[in-house]
Structure 1
Amino acid sequence: MLIRNKLILRFTLLVLAIQLSLSLFVYFFHAATREQKFVNRLRGKCELTGRILLQRGNLRAGILRTFRRRDLLTMPQEQISVYSPHGRLIYESDDRIDQRGNEAHLAEVRPERPVSFRFGGREALGMTYAFEGGDYRIFAAGYDDVGFQQLDKLRLILLVGNLGALALIVVAGWYFAEESLKPMARVVREVRRITASNLSRRVNEGNQKDEVAQLAMTFNRMLAGLEQAFEAQKSFVAHASHELRTPLTNALGTLETSVLYDENLAEAKRSMQSAQQEIRRLIGLTNSLLALARADEATVSRQQVRLDECLTQALANCAAKYPGRQVRLSFGELPEELDEPFVVEGNAPLLSTALLNLLDNACKYSDGPVLVELGYRGPGTLQIVVQDAGIGIEPAALERIYEPLFRAETGRQTATGYGLGLPITQKIIRLHGGELLVESKVGEGTTASVRLPAAPVL
């Protein structure tokens, strides 16, 4: 069901429920008021009967036999009965009155405690009337013809009014839903116009305060992320195509030249060696791309590992790759409460790869010594800082160093590489719940800081 229809239905049911509740309250309040008025009328009839028949001595003087009964009648189907203090019927306004209802409630009537009840389709009231030291019981019954007619009219008015109001409620609900969903419909129309070819378009954020504006702002943030991801993907494809095509083209050109022009084994070997270097470069690039893909996997096995051992492994690999390069390792202060330091929850091979990438960059772009410090930034955070005094990275390129296959201009001019080391390292560190921070100044060097959450002590 559409949200518009749901809003109309819920609005209609809610308002209808409120209106029906109000109508029922009005009806039952009017019914209770009618009943109270009629009981008061019956009370007045009982008092009038007591004054006429008892207070004036009409019963003792024998006037009752000549008293015209219809002179007391003031309401439809009125019935009046008088009982003596001993419970004997001494007067009734009609010989055909069924006294069973009165006799059933005769014992319940007490001074200052009238009893109201229904019997034979009539409403009745029984009360006491004190006269000459005795409590006479007078019962008055009748049918509230006018009151019930007014109640029927009220019921008809409420029924017709509710039916008419129901139609108005449906129209109002439709208008309410239509007006409420107009901003949403506008957002939907604007989002539908945005495709992969025009991700730069944005949704109108309105007043930037209500829920629809918040939705539009969320869409815009999502579109900005998608646009950035698309641009990164385009850049990655362009760089990957270039990096893959160059060694393949060089190897193919070398082999074709060798086939056409090499006349002896020595020349053929030189051509094959050249092609072999290009193929090794291609294999290295492929392995780096595979490492980048594996760094995205969140299902790697995890266990408690010693970060200092991972760093030691990375330092050994770096020393083998850059013999004679000075890499100075130092340790920061350790928290006193630790039984076993430098323990993290993660994957040792991946962490060693990430640290080796940082060391490789530091040695590749710097001729001087590389400083490495392992310590704690806080009781729950481990930190490794790799610092070099190399060529540095220009500010514009520093914002793009995590893009795969992106290389700064200073790096292109001084060293070979594919621009995959830092993206792989960042993904590995994030996979372990940490963060990688890189600060650099051109001509002064680069500082890379890795912060990882320490494993809880078991």
Structure 2
Amino acid sequence: MTLKYRFSLYFSFSLSLLLGIMTLVIISLFADFREDEFQNRLSEKATTALNLLVEVDEVDSALLAKIDQKSSGKLFEENLQIYNEALVLLYHTGPVVAIPFTDSELASLKQNGQIFRHKENDVLGLYRSFGKDGYFVFHSAKDVYGFRKLHFLQTILGGSYLLMVILVGLLSFYLSQITLRSLSKVTQQIQQVNTENLKIDLNRLHQDDEIKALASSFNRMMERIDDVYRSQKEFSSNAAHELRTPIARMTVQLQNLARAYQTAQDARGTINDVLEDAHRLSDIVTSLLLLSKVEYRGERPSFIPVRIDEVLFAARSRLLATNPDFRFQFAIENNSQVETDVEIPGDETLLEIAFQNLFRNAYAYSDDQQVGCLVTQTKDGLEIRISNNGEIPQGDDLQQLFSTFYRGTNTQGKTGSGIGLSIVQRIIHLHGGTVSYETPDAHTNVILVFFQSFNH
């Protein structure tokens, strides 16, 4: 989840939670207010009826009933009962019902003077003393209008809460976009940083905040990384360049020594082995030098159309010169609807080094010193399949196949440095291609190289 969506979610959730708590508090307070107000109405009406019945001599139960019938403040499902202290019924409105309180509650009522209980209807119990006489009053009714107001308030607040949650969500998303817009720009620019473009300077931001400080810190960090990377590339380039001259001189001297007629046969074999190592070392140094030139400061060679079949045969000829028993099977297929060229844009020297390394590996780890090469023309580009019959790599050997300086468990007794396939991968990627490994059966290894055509 991105920071923008996380900020929107946290802000919306926090504000919605506060609004929800506020809504519940308002509803709870209004419910308490309704209950207190209705309790006061029951108490006032019960007290008035008791005062009229006890203190006014002209008012008896019949007259009090008529007064109650003519009253405009009659409540819904109202029931009023007045008892003396001996619990003898003196007056009632509506049907006579059992006393809604237990003996212990009546004792508490006599001591406290008032009890209120909320059941299906609200029930109020009063105890009043007039001289030596005491009276119990039980007044119950249903607060229809109060509950209607409460339900209306709940509906209004609930709808308002849902509307506010939606508005808060939209507002928080909009605010997060505005607030983090500069961070999104910085992120887009950072994504453009690669090994070919380390010297990138993030745009200066107008606002003075943490994002601007982050961009400035990133600029300073990239400057230091670029300095270190440039120093490393300069060292690699200089080291490879300095190594080429003594290796070339050593190779020429060994070749001259091997051609001398007076050299003993055993010594000539040793010289040929050393000469082969010198050739391989020269190829590695040449590859490193070319790659360092290509990668240094993002400089790419000027690619020109290169025929891939000519590159393959040139690599085959160089390998055959040092390995006479090398056998090479070559074929071309056209699976596209139209006739296409076997040309790709590239650097011929780098491509020749890459395929020479692939042929050398396939030859070295083949059971019969035979390497197959199938070039297939497709509508999207060129596919080169290099295959041999030999042991299939397993486990870590397969995972580390293109890792630098990694040598598998099947390399005992075979010369090599573990850098060949890594160089191949870097050269192929430099040309916009892909390289992968396949095993069509238990005894066949296939390296698949794919280049896009000019049209793609």
Q: Give the structure-2-normalised TM-score.
A: 0.51
1:238 alignment counterpart? 237
The answer on 1:200 being equivalent to 2:199 is yes
Match of 1:180 in 2: 179
CA distance in 2, matches of 1:209, 1:76: 67
Mapped to 2, the partners of 1:15 and 1:231 lie a distance apart of 51
Query: In the TM superposition, what is the alpha-carbon distance from 1:103 to its structure 2 partner?
Result: 5.5
Residue of 55, 61, 64 corresponding to 1:64: 61
Q: 1:109 — aligned with what?
A: 109
Deviations 1:356-414 (A, max 9, x none): xxxxxxxxxxxxxxxxxxxxxxxxxxxxxxxxxxxxxxxxxxxxxxxxxxxxxxxxxxx
Identity %: 23
Question: Which secondary structure state, in structure 2, belongs to the residue aligned with residue 35 of structure 1?
Answer: helix
Deviation at 1:42, TM superposition (A): 1.5
Distance 2:189 2:58 in 1: 95
- The answer on whether the counterparts of 1:205 and 1:214 sit within 8 Å (CA) in structure 2 is no
SS at match of 1:109: helix
The 2-side partners of 1:36 and 1:8 are apart by 42
Alignment partner of 1:101: what SS?
Answer: coil
8 Å Cα contact 1:110-1:128 kept in structure 2: yes
Equivalent positions of 1:343-362 (< 5 A) are none
Cα distance in 2 for residues equivalent to 1:97 and 1:179:
71
Q: Distance in 2 between matches of 1:81 and 1:236?
A: 107
Kept after mapping to 2: 8 A contact 1:58/1:64: no
After superposition, where does 1:44-123 map in structure 2 within 5 Å?
44-57=44-57, 63-67=60-64, 68=66, 69-71=68-70, 74-94=74-94, 96-102=95-101, 105-119=105-119, 121-123=120-122
Distance 1:185 1:66, change over 3 A: closer
Q: Could you tell me how far apart the structure 1 residues matched to 2:111 and 2:253 are?
A: 128
Structure 1, residues 184-241: CA drift from partner, whole Å, max 9, x if none?
2111111123333332222236379643234323432431232122111111112212
Unaligned runs of 5+ in 1: 264-271, 273-278, 287-458
Aligned residue type for 2:37: K
Does the 8 A contact of 1:127 with 1:138 survive in 2? Answer: yes
Q: From the superposition, tell whether residues 77 and 260 of structure 1 become closer, same or farther in structure 2 (CA, over 3 Å).
A: closer
| Structure 1: distance between partners of 2:63 and 2:46 | 20
Give the CA deviation at 1:102: 4.5
SS at match of 2:76: coil
Q: Give the TM-score of the pair, scaled to structure 1.
A: 0.51
Paired residue for 2:39?
39
Q: How does 1:143-292 map to 2 (within 5 A)?
A: 143-204=142-203, 206=205, 210-252=209-251
1:248 partner amino acid: I
Structure 1 Cα separation of the partners of residues 106 and 138 of structure 2: 9
In the other structure, the counterpart of 1:352 is none
Cα deviation for residue 259 of structure 1 reads: 8.8
Q: Once the 2 structures are TM-superposed, how far is the Cα of residue 56 of structure 1 from its aligned partner?
A: 1.5
Instruction: Structure 2 unaligned segments of length 5 or more: list them.
Output: 263-270, 272-277, 286-456
Tell me how many residue pairs correspond in the alignment.
264
Per-residue Cα deviation, 1:319-358 (whole angstroms, up to 9, x for no partner): xxxxxxxxxxxxxxxxxxxxxxxxxxxxxxxxxxxxxxxx
- 1:405 alignment partner in structure 2: none
User: Which residue in the other structure is 2:24 paired with?
Assistant: 24
Which residue of the partner structure matches residue 15 of structure 1?
15
Q: Secondary structure at the match of 1:42?
A: helix
Q: Deviations over 1:27-71 (max 9, x none)?
A: 111110111111111121122122111121357xxx323442424
Alignment root-mean-square deviation, CA: 3.4
Using the alignment, how far apart are the partners of 2:97 and 2:243 within structure 1?
Answer: 113
Distance 1:77 1:259, change over 3 A: closer
Q: Distance in 2 between matches of 1:40 and 1:8?
A: 48
How far apart in 2 are the matches of 1:230 and 1:155?
67
Between stretches 27-36 and 2-11, larger displacement belongs to 2-11
Q: Distance in 1 between matches of 2:114 and 2:121?
A: 17
Q: 2 CA distance for matches of 1:246 and 1:128?
A: 119
Shift, 1:183, TM fit: 1.8
Equivalent residue number for residue 349 of structure 2: none
Q: Which residue of 2 aligns with 1:396?
A: none
8 Å CA contact 2:84–2:135 kept in 1: the answer is yes
The answer (yes or no) to whether the contact 2:42–2:139 under 8 Å persists in 1 is: yes
- Structure 2 CA distance for partners of 1:140 and 1:260, relative to 1, 3 Å: closer
